[in-house]
Chains A and B, each alone.
Chain A
Amino acid sequence: MPSDQPPDSAVRPGDPVARSVERLIRVGALARVEGEGGLTIRLRDGVVDDVQLRIFEPPRFFEAFLRSRSIDEVPDITARICGICPVAYQMSACHALESLLDLRVPASLRALRRLLYCGEWIESHVLHVVFLHAPDFLGFESAIAMAQSRPEYAKLVRESLKLKKAGNAIVDLIGGRAIHPINVRLGGFYKSPTVAEMSSLPARLREVHDIARNLVRWTAALAFPPFEYDYEFVALRHDSEYPMNEGRLVSNRGLNIAMAEFPLHFEEYQVPYSNALQCRRRQAGAYFVGPLARWNLNADRATPEVQELARQTGISFPCKNPYVSIVVRSLETVYAIEEALRVIAEYEPPPAPFVAYEARAGAGAWITEAPRGILFHRYEADADGRVTSATIIPPTSQNQRQIEEDLIRFAPTVLALPEEQARWRCEQVVRNYDPCISCATHSLKLSVVRE
């Protein structure tokens, strides 16, 4: 539900600053966590004076909540941070704590984790591509208006639901249920699927493979605004695989570090207008994480079929246009289907669903590739297996500064447009990043204030 109250940091009539403000573009937040997120762009004399993206960030709460809890509880607790990507939180948590415990899982469990991530990528990407992002490109205010306008768009939505359900089926089987999966634990899973259970998946995946391939072609034919920038793209890179759970952290500007070195090269900092910490590269600044960064740095790790599909789009990769993220999410959806089929074909049930461990004192850090970019977890625990320190840096807070910088460059280009258009175009810039404003906040209300 909308909140009509201006955010605390918004400029109000009568404020000394407000008198000189020419225009304020504000995206106020609402929904289930009231007034905690939003966007304000302040323009003075036709020039962007300030951009403030405010995000309510549940991880900050969860970091405190995790202290003194058993390390066994961490995967399930952190999974509650986000209803869209709980698997990502479980994967980063498990790997970070297993690093702390010096625990290695066998290849069969590693493959199951990869399969689970494939399911989440499909679910998350299809939701964003078709229901949240595509309407922007076609000039519709929502997926409803899009589906209503033409039978072919209604068909697209219907097929996309089928595609997303294939992702649900994977998360349901491996994760124990399609939302808020409960089957993940330190060292593996509570229960591993039988070959017979696994055999239900390939037919469903093959059935939607063409839908996903067509989605790539369809998104590639959309009109992309000519908005490019020389971003620093940051993603994992693995020796042989398209990155999900493993790899080194690399960038197109020469970064190449072990995951645990993340705090040495990146830093969180507080901004006065948001309770979320922003993140930047030390001595560098904003950087870009997510599907476009992953693809730009790892396209050669995708299957030959997906690489060929990318070539057929005619888009030149590496690509510096954030709007093209919609195509890359579609490409990654096809990849996730093909990778899932490979993992299932090679599946042999593990000897045990998890590897046992003994508590020990120490620290461990890990990064995995959530659907919307790298997700960093670091934990310290005592000899009794109690968490003494937790740090969680989600992809949205890592992209936050980059989104603001995009808007600083973009806002002047829409000044001549009517207010509704200007607001809508600015929100599209934010939407390129598929931001998870919060696990519990689902919508934004736009409002423009003229001073």
Chain B
Amino acid sequence: MMSTEVPAKHDRPSVLPLVLGIGSPHGDDRIGWLAVEKIRRRSPVPVVAHTVSGGIELLEHLSDCEAAFVIDAAYPAGTPGAMQSVVWPHVAIAGTPLLSTHGLSLFEALRLAEILGSLPRHVSIHTVEALCTSPGDSLSGEVARQLEPLVDAVLRDIVAVCRDEQTMRANPTQGSKASGTLRSSFVLRSSG
């Protein structure tokens, strides 16, 4: 019900790129959800796209795909609107706290998926630093301005990964090399 292009049943494995927007209705925390809505409409390749509210739902979806693209608001740190794109595993994600009373963090979800053998071959994480995330807050100007650049960045990422996948399938003898390139070609990119 939340997907485009293909039915969104959770237990249906898919080779299509999976786009997951993490968030809540509060302030800049919704940026992941807003990006997903735009990607559904604009993606040049078929994708499965979901909005989720936390790590546990992320974990549930991860087992269903081969490449995942996660979009989330980053914790306010003085540079609202700053974008980051990293590929898992990455030190920027490893610092997420492990202790929790009420859910799984992004790090926990991805690490758990790894342990359970359900982590997609490729996971990239795109974030925009939030300014305000309290109930009742609206989207800040700093973050709103980054919505289009964020969507563009994720779409470029999706297309690049799909191209690598096609290359690998067309030339299976270079499969391992292509796969390695897939992971290593994504480096930390900062803007804004």
Contacts and interface: CB of A to CB of B under 8 A. Distances in A.
B is a partner of A: yes
A286 to B, nearest CB: 20
A154 B116 CA distance: 6
A83 B33 CA distance: 14
A131 B56 contact: yes
Interface stretch (B40-48, B93-101, B154-162, B176-184): B93-101
A131 to B, nearest CB: 6
A427 interface: yes
A442 B112 contact: no
Interface of B: 1-2, 10-11, 24-26, 29, 51-57, 59-60, 63, 73-77, 95-105, 108, 111-112, 115-116, 118, 130, 133-136
Given A154-B116, A180-B53, A165 B10 contact: yes
A165 B118 CA distance: 15
B116 A179 contact: no
B29 A32 contact: yes
B18 to A, nearest CB: 15
Contacts of A437: 101-102
Contact of A435 (B52, B97, B102): B102
B1 A177 contact: yes
29 contacts: A1-B74, A1-B96, A32-B26, A32-B75, A61-B135, A80-B135, A83-B53, A127-B56, A132-B102, A141-B98, A142-B98, A157-B116, A158-B118, A161-B60, A161-B63, A164-B56, A165-B60, A168-B10, A169-B10, A177-B2, A178-B2, A179-B53, A436-B102, A437-B101, A439-B26, A442-B55, A442-B103, A444-B99, A445-B97
A257 B62 CA distance: 47
A436 B101 CA distance: 8
A147 B115 contact: yes
A440 B133 contact: yes
A144 B109 CA distance: 9
Nearest to B57: A179
Contacts of A164: 56, 60
B56 A142 contact: no
A427 B101 contact: yes
Given A161-B60, A178-B10, A444 B53 contact: no
Given A32-B75, A164-B60, A177-B2, A439 B24 contact: yes
The 7 closest A-B pairs by CB, nearest first: A1-B75, A83-B53, A443-B100, A442-B103, A58-B135, A61-B135, A142-B98
B102 A442 contact: yes
Contact of B51 (A2, A33, A179): A179
Nearest to B136: A61
B100 A132 contact: yes
B128 to A, nearest CB: 13
Given A33-B133, A61-B135, A443 B105 contact: yes
A371 to B, nearest CB: 12
A441 interface: yes
Nearest to A86: B53
Contacts of B24: 32, 80, 83, 439-440
A144 B114 CA distance: 10
Nearest to A441: B102
B104 A131 contact: yes
Nearest to A80: B25
B26 A440 contact: yes
Nearest to B29: A32
B99 A443 contact: yes
Interface string A194-226: 000000000000000000000000000000000
Interface string A219-237: 0000000000000000000
Interface in A36-83: 58, 61-62, 65, 80-81, 83
A179 B134 contact: no
Considering residues B99, B101, B133, which has the most beta carbons from chain A within 10 angstroms of its beta carbon? B101
Nearest to A431: B101
A154 B115 contact: yes
